[in-house]
Structure formats: structure tokens, C-alpha cells
Amino acid sequence: MGDAAVHDDHHGYHPSGMMRWLTTTNHKDIGTMYLIFALVMFFIGGSMAMVIRLELFQPGMQWVDPQLFNSMTTMHALVMIFGAVMPAELAPRFCTVR
């Protein structure tokens, strides 16, 4: 009986703060993290879109290097599709109460 009492000490432990969010298995917390991640990616992709539009604003003006412009166009598409759209689409599935 002494062995069982020693090994059950960690069952009452509940992490708090940032560790609660990083180690959670709660579907509501996971859905919230998906939505926060999608919002952050939406703002990052939006800032890339603004740089792309700045470059295309007036013909002949160079605001960024052409290689950076091409890279940013590709990264903007990837961030908006896989960072903003897909997590926002999946989050309601994690947030629903069943």
C-alpha cells in the first residue's frame, strides 16, 4: 500500500499560465489556440499584401528587391491559405460542445 500512495501525488497537479495552454487536451482551448493562430497569420499575411501593393502602386518605383517581391508573393499565399484560412475553418470543429 505504501507504493500506491507515493505514485499518486501528481494526479492533482494542474498547470497554470502558459503551460496550461501549451499542454492542454481540452477541445475548447485547442479551438481557441487555432483561432488565435489564424488571426496572427491573417495579420502577417495582410502586412505582406501591403508590401506587395506598395511595390505595385506606381510603375518603375522599386520599394523592395525583385527577389524579395517574388518570395513575399509566394509566402503571402502560403500564409493566407495554410495559416489563416485552414485553422479558422477547423476551429469550429474543436469548439463545439458534443
Residue owning grid cell 509566402: 75
The overall average pLDDT reported for the chain is 80
| pLDDT band of 12, cuts 50, 70, 90 | low
- pTM, to two decimals: 0.69
Would you say residue 4 has pLDDT above 70? no
pLDDT digits (tens, 9 = 90+) for 42-72: 899 999 999 999 998 888 878 889 899 999 9
Residue 98, CA distances (Å) to 57, 59, 93 in order: 49, 55, 10
Q: How many residues does the chain have?
A: 98
Domain range annotation of the chain: 2-95
Residue 29, CA distances (Å) to 37, 51, 86, 87, 88 in order: 12, 33, 17, 14, 14
